[in-house]
Structures are given as C-alpha cells and as structure tokens.
Amino acid sequence: MALPIKSDKYSYKDYLACPKEESFEIIDGVPYAMSPAPSRIHQEISMRLINEIYTYLKGKSCKIYAASFDVRLCKKSENDEEIINVVQPDITVVCDDSKLDDKGVKGVPDFIIEIVSPSSVSLDYVKKLYLYGSYGVKEYWIVNPSNKTAFVYKILETGSYDAPCVYNENDKIKVGIFEDLTIDLSDVFR
C-alpha cells in the first residue's frame, strides 16, 4: 500500500498510519522512500562506528541508537499532525533523556551520522544537511563508503553549519560534542 496522495504536507500522523513495510522519511512534509536494506559494507561501517561510540558512552548520560529509529525533528509542543519532519538516521546520539519516548526522539538529537547509499546521496548531502542544520543538530557526519570519506559539520553559534571538515580513510576524527572521543577512520573503513 503506497502513501495516499495529499495536496498538503504529510505529517507524523500520516507516517504512523502507513503499514510498517512502507519505509519512508518525511522532510518538510514531503515523503521520501527509503532504500532497500543497506549493503554489507554499509552495515559493517555502521556497526564499527556504533561500537566505538557505544563503548565511549558507557557510564555517561548520552545514548546511541541505530536505524531504524524515528527522529521527529520538532518543537516539544507539536502534536503528531504538526510534525512534518521524521527521519531515520543511520546513527543517532541523544544526550537529553527528556527527548526520548517509546517512539524514538521527539526534538533535536545532539549528533547524527548518515552513511551514504547510492540512492541517498542527494538526501544526505543536501536535504538532510539543511534540515539538521536548521534544527540545530550539533554535529552531523556524512560517511561515504564508496570514496572512504567523512564530511563533518559542526553547528556555529549563528545556528548554521560551518564549512565541513573532510576526512579520508587515513584520518582520525575528534568528535566535537565529546571531550575525548576520537574515531580512527582506518578502523571504520577497513
């Protein structure tokens, strides 16, 4: 069953009404079909990153989540009909428990990582970059398995992202939202 055709924006309420086998995200009220299951390499990269971050977070207040995990980018007061941004990042870190509920995150995560798939290039590098920046996600990484790079965006005091720092498979990245976490991309892309 496909999404019903609407003349206005789709909301989180519409998202919840669709069958679970319909996999999509909503950005500014527009639905985007998600790609089929990620490739083996995509999964390996995701697991390596999750393992590094999860190990670091043991005993700390922040929590890490892997896709499929709903992130409702919105104001706390918005109800399901008003929420028009629902995404499922590959990796999400949330440091404020009050943003978590049984459905996922309602609000703004602190750190998001998207791992690029051939069908998600435009979404990850353009639409989600703008979306995450406009909501104030503190740190956003775009990890590209095909060219073994990571674009790292950090939010400025002005509320927008600075130019990205670009890293390759031989680099180490200091995670900006944490005091002492560094991720070695040679381990991630091995």
State yes or no: pLDDT of 126 exceeds 50.
yes
Domains of the chain by start residue, with CATH: 39-67+88-188 (3.90.1570.10)
pLDDT higher at 161 or 33: 161
State yes or no: pLDDT of 1 exceeds 50.
no
**Residues 115, 120, 125, 131, Cα dihedral to 10°:** -100
3-state secondary structure of 94: strand
- Report whether 67 contacts 115 (CB < 8 A): no
Give the residue from 40, 45, 101, 48 showing the smallest Cα distance to 74.
Answer: 101
pLDDT higher at 4 or 102: 102
**Which pLDDT score is estimated for 20?**
73
State yes or no: pLDDT of 186 exceeds 80.
yes
Q: Which residues pair with 64 in a beta bridge?
A: 93
Two tokens at 82? Answer: 């008003």
Neighbour tally for 91: CB within 10 Å: 23
State yes or no: pLDDT of 174 exceeds 90.
yes
Composition of the chain by helix, strand, coil, percent to 5: 25, 30, 45
Measured CA to CA in angstroms, residue 18 lies from 36, 39, 43, 161 at distances of: 17, 25, 26, 33
Give the residue from 95, 64, 89, 70 showing the smallest Cα distance to 142.
Answer: 89
Tell me the pLDDT tens digit for each residue of 128-137: 999 999 999 9
**Which pLDDT score is estimated for 161?**
92
**Average pLDDT, rounded, for the chain:** 91
Whether pTM > 0.85 for this model: the answer is yes
Residue 7 DSSP class: S
